């Protein structure tokens, strides 16, 4: 059976299984335990007809907090089939399914307690970015593959002409120096354009800040913000040497957001074809993946 005790001393394997080092796992475990206790207490208070106190009855397969956290981190990092993770942790597929959705909620609570989750409310973007000492930000869109919808209307909505497959899309706003995801947009169908998401959410930025963006945001110019965007090559003529130099300079800054998105997609649940069917879990998975990236970045900045 796959347990925390079996893998905690193998540093290379532990990072491959969870995306965290054992020391980082121990830090997250403290908040995860608090979040688990809050979750159990809330569930107990909501169920007035319950006869046993929490902890009564048969002992679960995930008998310790360490194994609960290991289970959900392993699921997000490797994204195995539910039958596979059930076999590895000594439970049935239905139990694994229940644990996945329960512990995802608890993991989000833990990351929220540690203030590593990105902002989700478009109206709060300016306030959140104002609190940050940096005044340079990057906005970019990222797509994730999903299973082909059965409904023909949904098929058309989720089909991305850019990726030539069915996808879901989010915009992210990241800081350049700290490389943290400060804002994560809602999850949209792959057909929707990056700029259209910005137009619908209508977030604003601090005055006198600089925003780097790619040509997918052509025409997006928030008030009071200096926009840095590569210049497209005009039809039937070439860019000047100065324009090419400026584009290269912008790209050298914008590469940070590509590294951040790569960090988010260390969690294969937001890299592989998304299979979960529960409503809203596609959005929750992306939010947690961003939170885990922010957590790792914060821990390793102190190392």
Q: Answer with the residue of higher pLDDT: 50 or 171.
A: 171
46 pLDDT more than 80: no
Gap between the Cα atoms of 230 and 190, Å rounded: 24
Contact 234, 243 (CB under 8 A): no
Total-model pTM: 0.93
The percentage of residues in the chain with a pLDDT greater than 90, rounded to a whole number, is 86
The pLDDT assigned to 43 comes to 81
The pair of three-digit structure tokens given for residue 56, joined into one six-digit string: 């009564």
- The secondary structure element, H or E, covering residue 110 is helix 93-113
CA distance 270 to 255: 20
Is the model more confident about 57 or about 98?
Answer: 98
Span 170-195, mean pLDDT? 96
Query: Which residue reads 């597929």 in tokens?
Result: 93
Q: Are 143 and 162 in contact (CB under 8 A)?
A: yes
Average pLDDT over residues 65-70: 97
Residue with tokens 């679960």: 60
Chain centre to alpha carbon of residue 295: 11
Tokens of 28: 């997250």
Between 247 and 1, the more confident residue is 247
């Amino acid at each position: 059976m796959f347990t925390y005790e079996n893998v905690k001393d193998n540093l290379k394997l532990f990072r491959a299984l969870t995306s965290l080092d054992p020391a980082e796992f121990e830090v997250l475990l403290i908040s995860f335990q608090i979040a688990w206790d809050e979750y159990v207490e809330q569930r107990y208070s909501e169920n007035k007809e319950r006869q046993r106190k929490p902890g009564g009855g048969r002992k679960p397969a995930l008998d310790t907090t360490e194994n609960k956290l290991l289970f959900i981190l392993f699921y997000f990092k490797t994204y195995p089939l539910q039958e596979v993770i059930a076999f590895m942790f000594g439970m049935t597929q239905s139990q694994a399914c229940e644990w996945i959705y329960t512990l995802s909620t608890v993991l989000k609570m833990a990351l929220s307690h540690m203030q590593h989750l990105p902002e989700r409310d478009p109206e709060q973007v300016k306030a959140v970015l104002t609190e940050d000492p940096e005044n340079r930000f990057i906005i970019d869109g990222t797509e994730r593959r999903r299973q082909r919808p059965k409904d023909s209307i949904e098929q058309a909505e989720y089909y991305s002409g850019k990726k030539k497959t069915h996808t879901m899309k989010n915009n992210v706003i990241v800081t350049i120096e700290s490389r943290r995801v400060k804002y994560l947009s809602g999850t949209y169908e792959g057909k929707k354009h990056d700029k259209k998401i910005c137009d619908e959410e209508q977030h604003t930025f601090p005055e006198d800040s600089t925003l780097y963006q790619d040509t997918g945001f052509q025409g997006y110019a928030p008030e009071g913000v200096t926009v840095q965007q590569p210049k497209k090559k005009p039809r039937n003529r070439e860019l000047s040497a100065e324009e090419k130099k400026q584009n290269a300079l912008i790209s050298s800054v914008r590469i940070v957001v590509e590294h951040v998105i790569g960090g988010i997609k260390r969690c294969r649940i937001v890299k592989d074809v998304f299979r979960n069917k529960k409503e809203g879990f596609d959005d929750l998975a992306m939010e947690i993946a961003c939170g885990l990236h922010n957590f790792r970045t914060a821990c390793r900045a102190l190392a």
